[in-house]
């Protein structure tokens, strides 16, 4: 149901039934390693290319979610997912493997919440009983496409971020009542915001206005106060983007407790890992939400959270042609059922 | 950032000022000092190799340059292949990019990266993706300089 200008309310409270999260070696050494279902100790994952390894990550995450929910892939109605590689081929090839009717989506690093919002909307309106949704990224294949070869010795500035190797997927289903599981209650779809930034090594700074725009729109549409949530978490803004967004929100008159405003890109790695401004990538928000944050919710740490995944919608081509970086953010509100 | 400030709307300009406050700046002085030491170290190794060729083989100070460059590029390729050079470069910055080892790294890293796309279209087609412009503009500038020199000699200036 539409509420306000750009938000949906899911009155039937679709359930996030089960999740599957896979990750790579850097994540295995990170702070949230325990929240991953599958961890690989090298980037190749037994494949002969990084793109194939990327596909394996998605397939494993899907299998893990299906196994936990104890459901066959034939019973899933739709698969809504995406990644960062050209024409989202890793996701499409994994959809070839799982043979579930498939929507391939691209929202750069906001893909996770784009997928969750769409899935929740479809489930809420009885368009399906089970939907598998998620997003993923692979460090080496993303670097290859957007930046320099992995082994190239280019010095990264302190504003650069580290692409996460990981896939996070979730099974969304109809709410049958009693179970105490996380449910999605509303979503706000962002518009493209471009503040004229051009530095691809400072994505956080470019994405911050999009995050602030969507968060402000969410509270306006839903007519609630930020204190409604126990945690507002952004996708992959990193150090610069996160503090910039906080200032933008404060300037816009939204008072958020600093401890309740976090960023997935700042949660996933340890302080001593050489990731500069933090983690990024489509797999960042999906692995942290579907792994760590939902686990925390089930343990009772949070009752209501707002997840705001941000994406920079640039390509190497637009950058070389001197286009500025267009950015977007989507927000989904997740609450415990009881 | 802010290549063409004139085309920005007032709102964009205002945001960029705000964003600048949060942006972590490159530690330029620290980077320069590191580049000085790392670059200097690479050149010292190069000098040692030059002496090696002069003392142990039949090279002179003029002719030892070519085998030295080849050896340095070879070492850089080994370091790239074993995944060490990019870590060295993150520390050393321009110190690893400017010497000839940086050129070797640019070529071999692209070759490794595109190996999965095959030898012809992958390795062959992409090997000079980064180093290609160095070769092109290097050769072109050499041509222009040689042209100027020739003209000056013809005029009797040199």
Substitution target in B2, B11, B18, B22 with the highest count of A β-carbons within 10 Å is B22
B16 assigned to some structural domain: no
Q: Look at residue A44 and give its three-state secondary structure.
A: coil
Distance from CA of A163 to the nearest CA of B (A): 16
The CATH class, in words, for A2-173 is alpha beta
pLDDT per residue of chain A (338 residues) written in tens, 0 to 9: 899 999 999 999 999 999 999 999 999 999 999 999 999 999 999 999 999 999 999 999 999 999 999 999 999 999 999 999 999 999 999 999 999 999 999 999 999 999 999 999 999 999 999 999 999 999 999 999 998 888 898 899 999 999 999 999 999 999 987 788 999 999 999 999 999 999 999 999 999 999 999 999 999 999 999 999 999 999 999 999 999 999 999 999 999 999 999 999 999 999 999 999 999 999 999 999 999 999 999 999 999 999 999 999 999 999 999 999 999 999 999 999 87
Does residue B92 sit in the same domain as residue B136? no
- Residue A77 and residue A96: Cα distance in Å, rounded? 15
Distance from CA of A297 to the nearest CA of B (A): 31
pLDDT confidence of residue B5: 56
Using a 10 angstrom Cβ sphere, with 0-12 exposed, 13-18 middle and 19 or more buried, the burial of residue A31 is middle
Distance from CA of A193 to the nearest CA of B (A): 10
Q: Are the beta carbons of A14 and A124 closer than 8 angstroms? A: yes
- Residue B158 and residue A164: Cα distance in Å, rounded? 60
Confidence of residue B2 (pLDDT cuts 50, 70, 90): very low
Residue B44 belongs to what domain range?
A: 28-97
Considering only the beta carbons, identify the residue of B81, B88, B116 that sits closest to A49.
Answer: B116
* pTM over cut 0.90: yes
pLDDT confidence of residue A177: 79
B12: chain A residues, CB-CB within 8 Å: 194-196
- Residue B147 and residue B137: Cα distance in Å, rounded? 15
Fold of domain A182-336: Peroxisomal Thiolase; Chain A, domain 1 (3.40.47)
Does residue B32 sit in the same domain as residue B77? yes
Considering only the beta carbons, identify the residue of A155, A243, A277 that sits closest to B93.
Answer: A155
Q: Per CB distance under 8 Å, which residues of A are interface residues toward B? A: 48-51, 144, 148-159, 194-199, 202, 205, 208-209, 239-240, 243-244, 247-248, 274, 277, 322
Residue B1 pLDDT exceeds 50: no
Instruction: Report the run of H or E that residue A261 belongs to, with start and end.
Output: strand A261-263
Distance from CA of B54 to the nearest CA of A (A): 31
Residue A238 zone, left/alpha/beta (φ > 0; ψ -120 to 50; rest): left
B71 assigned to some structural domain: yes
pLDDT in tens, B68-110: 999 999 999 999 999 999 999 999 999 999 899 999 999 999 9
Domain with CATH 3.40.47.40 in chain A: 2-173, 182-336
Nearest to residue A238, comparing CAs of A199, A264, A271? Answer: A264
B110 assigned to some structural domain: no
pLDDT confidence of residue B6: 62
B88 assigned to some structural domain: yes
Instruction: Report the run of H or E that residue A309 belongs to, with start and end.
Output: strand A304-312
B90 assigned to some structural domain: yes
Does residue B146 sit in the same domain as residue B85? no
B127 assigned to some structural domain: no
């Amino acid at each position: 149901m539409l509420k306000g200008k750009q938000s949906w309310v899911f009155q039937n409270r679709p359930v996030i039934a089960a999740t599957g999260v896979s990750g790579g070696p850097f994540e295995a050494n990170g702070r949230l390693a325990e929240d991953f279902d599958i961890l690989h100790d090298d980037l190749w994952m037994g494949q002969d290319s990084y793109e194939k390894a990327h596909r394996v990550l998605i397939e494993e995450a899907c299998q893990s979610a299906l196994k936990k929910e104890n459901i066959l892939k034939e019973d899933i109605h739709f698969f809504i997912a995406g990644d960062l590689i050209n024409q989202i081929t890793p996701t499409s090839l994994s959809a070839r493997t799982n043979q579930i009717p498939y929507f391939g989506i691209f929202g750069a690093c906001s893909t996770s919440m784009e997928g969750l919002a769409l899935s929740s909307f479809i489930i809420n309106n009885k368009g399906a009983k089970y939907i598998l949704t998620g997003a993923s990224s692979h460090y080496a294949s993303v670097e290859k496409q957007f930046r320099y070869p992995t082994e190239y010795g280019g010095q990264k500035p302190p504003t650069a971020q580290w692409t996460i190797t990981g896939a996070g997927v979730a099974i969304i289903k109809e709410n049958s009542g009693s179970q105490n599981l996380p449910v999605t209650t509303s979503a706000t779809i962002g518009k493209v915001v471009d503040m004229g930034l051009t530095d691809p090594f400072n994505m956080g700074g470019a994405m911050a206005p999009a995050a602030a725009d969507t968060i402000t729109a969410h509270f306006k549409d839903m007519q609630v106060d930020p204190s409604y949530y126990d945690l507002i978490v952004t996708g992959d803004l990193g150090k610069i983007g996160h503090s910039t967004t906080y200032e933008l929100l404060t300037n816009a008159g939204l008072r958020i407790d600093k401890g309740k405003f976090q960023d997935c890109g700042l949660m996933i790695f340890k302080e001593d890992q050489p990731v500069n401004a933090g983690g990024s990538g489509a797999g960042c928000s999906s692995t942290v939400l579907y792994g760590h944050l939902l686990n925390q919710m089930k343990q009772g740490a949070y009752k209501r959270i707002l997840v705001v995944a941000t994406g920079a919608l640039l390509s190497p081509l637009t950058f070389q042609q001197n286009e500025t970086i267009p950015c977007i953010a989507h927000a989904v509100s997740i609450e415990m059922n009881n | 950032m802010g290549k063409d400030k004139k085309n920005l709307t007032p709102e964009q300009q205002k945001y960029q000022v705000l964003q600048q406050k949060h942006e972590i700046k490159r530690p330029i002085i620290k980077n320069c000092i590191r580049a000085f030491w790392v670059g200097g170290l690479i050149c010292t190794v190069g000098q040692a190799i030059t002496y090696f060729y002069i003392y142990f083989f039949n090279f002179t100070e003029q002719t030892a340059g070519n085998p030295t460059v080849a050896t340095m590029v070879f070492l850089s390729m080994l370091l790239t292949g074993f995944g060490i050079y990019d870590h060295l470069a993150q520390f050393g910055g321009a110190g690893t990019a400017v010497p000839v080892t940086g050129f070797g790294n640019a070529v071999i890293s692209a070759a490794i990266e595109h190996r999965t796309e095959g030898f012809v279209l992958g390795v062959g087609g992409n090997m000079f993706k980064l180093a290609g412009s160095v070769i092109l503009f290097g050769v072109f500038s050499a041509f222009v300089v040689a042209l100027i020199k020739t003209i000056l000699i013809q005029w009797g200036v040199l």
